[in-house]
Amino acid sequence: MLKLCYFASVREQLGKTDETLMLPAGITTVGELSKLLAERGEAWQMLNDEKSVLIAVNQQVSSRDQRLHGSEEIAFFPPMTGG
């Protein structure tokens, strides 16, 4: 099972904080997963915008070509700025 977590403006736009999901057949990377999630509708399409949404796998910021095995925690969040 994948645990998907949504933070900050991503959470606000999607209206949910987290969910669990079986790794769908044929999905092998973080990028493929974000594209699949984007198919849920207009609000979800932002997950494909690499400049607006970062992705962490098991609490490590990851590239979209990061391979998935099916038991990861995946977090979607906006880029953070210092202050």
Q: Would the pTM count as exceeding 0.85?
A: yes
Reference 61, options 78, 44, 83; nearest CA is 78
Residue 56 has a CB neighbour count (10 Å cut-off) of 18
Which helix (H) or strand (E) segment holds residue 49: the answer is: none
Cross-strand pairs, 61? 56
The reported pLDDT for the residue numbered 80 is 81
Is the model's pLDDT at 83 over the cut of 60? Answer: no
What's the average model confidence in pLDDT over 36-64? 96
Q: Say which CATH superfamily domain 2-77 falls into.
A: Beta-grasp domain (3.10.20.30)
Please provide the average confidence, as pLDDT, over all residues in the chain: 95
